[in-house]
A and B are shown apart, each in its own frame.
Chain A
Amino acid sequence: MQYLLTIILGTIGGLLARFYMLRRDYRQYPSYPQGWAIHLFIGFIGAFLGSIIVPSVLEQEFAAVSFLLLAASQFREVRNIERSSLEKIEATELVVRGSAYIEGIARVFEARNYLSIITSLFISIVSELLKFNLTLRLIGSTATGLLTAGLLNYLMRGPSISDIADIKLAEINFDGPILDIGGVKVSNVGLDSVREIYQKYGVAAEIHPKDPDAKATLSNIGQMQAIAHDVSSMVGVRMDVGEQEYTPLVRRDPVSGKLVIVIVPSEDDEQAFLEAISNVPVLEGAIRKPLRSVAGRMMD
């Protein structure tokens, strides 16, 4: 087994890369340790596949390589698994994620397995190239693994709301029963007692897009729902099942394109609230870039 070390190095490297990417993600996928076991195992399969590509090519087993690539296509199934399981638990969320957010999460989980495959592939290439010296081989493989995983992770990191918009606190006003945040009419709150709770405990913010691209991105309904979900899952929401009055709301000002969000959090901490909004990821499916078009630039 002359390739044993390469396969072991590649597999471990790919698995560690998957683990590293899993760690950064517990907020989106909170069901560890079971969820971790599932993803680490799929990551292990991916890492193993990646690491045996090089030995197969060296042995000129091209049939084996084709089969490996065929096996890699199975990872598309990961996206379906993620999507359906998140859709199933959607009904149990006080504030729903929305289908756009679920799709984004599912896509990320699929992509991460490919990253794990690529990492282990690179490690095994380096390991085979540095075969003449064991120390060099170990150091080279480790460095390649760290570099690849770090770089891919960096490249895959999408922007968050604070990158595309300015966020500031806003006042909660009532115009009769109409809840008004920064000039945007948000909803009709019927009861005096509920209005009092909003005045007392509610927090609100305005999200001002920085440019026309951001404006178009923030106008996506899925993005708005993702903000509502993430913020309420981070700062908590003071509501029970069926209390629709306290549902966190995100609304858009059609003139300026700014968003307003209002929520009655479990803890009244305005800084935490702003921090939560800043960290909401910009959904891949929501990103629009009108400035890349001639018409979009003419409007700017």
Chain B
Amino acid sequence: MTSIDVRDLTKEYGGRRAVDGLTFSVRPGRVTGFLGPNGAGKSTTFRLLLGLDRPTAGTATIGGDAYTRLREPLRRVGALLDARAAHGSRTARGHLLALAASNRIPARRVDTVLEETGLATVARQRVRTYSLGMRQRLGIAAALLGDPEAVLLDEPANGLDPEGIVWIRTLLRRLADEGRTVLVSSHLMGETAAFADHLLILGRGRLLADTPVRDFIHTRVRPQVRIRTTDPAALAELLARHGHDASREEDGAWTVRHARVEDLGRLMSEAGVPVLELTAREATLEEAYFDLTASEAEFTAPRQEV
């Protein structure tokens, strides 16, 4: 089994730490989301993993070996770094044939991955004529070329249309179910939560969280309730009496944190406070992520071996 192991990885560019003492493992058989705002160090970590940049300190290994020591690495690890990597004047097929030849991958694999990524019908057109979404698919085709045990994709959903997003989700799930190690970076929490099983969250080059997606939602996404009433004074008194953490919004509605509609509905009914609106708000995943990355200075990464 191929897992990706990063130990105390650090990369400095002219005194600025792009990656700062990262330690984590990516295990096979699940999709690991690599999440962080732009500039958090995700792409740098990918380049260090692939031996393209030299680390200032620390190690990154794939299946126990440094990437640069792999023979015919495309057969072990497939990576998408930049959808612009294919030359505009080449055809998709020509681009993939050159890549395949370098690692003695048979030409029929080129046709297989073109088929798999939905590019078979445009394979003999020049890449210049492709949309960003098609280039992204070509980058993913290149990553799958060697039928690798580990797949690293940097922002694969960039430029994909809604149909493409569904396709990439299905693809990532299938790759993980086949027992491959799948590491996918993104700067969007909602998108990542939709396909990942496990999360690595990065902020300013440091690891902020290493946790299953379910646990992250469970511990960090706090339920809130929105209430509107014709009797704000009675509501304020009621919420205060029961020790709820509530605040009044600009539009006159109240937001109650750490509360459930079931409890508050019963409470208001018993106290006879008129109800105009009572709504559960769950869409706070993005907020939880934002809180985490915004206050990264106070955090030390909870390291979790799963």
Same complex: no
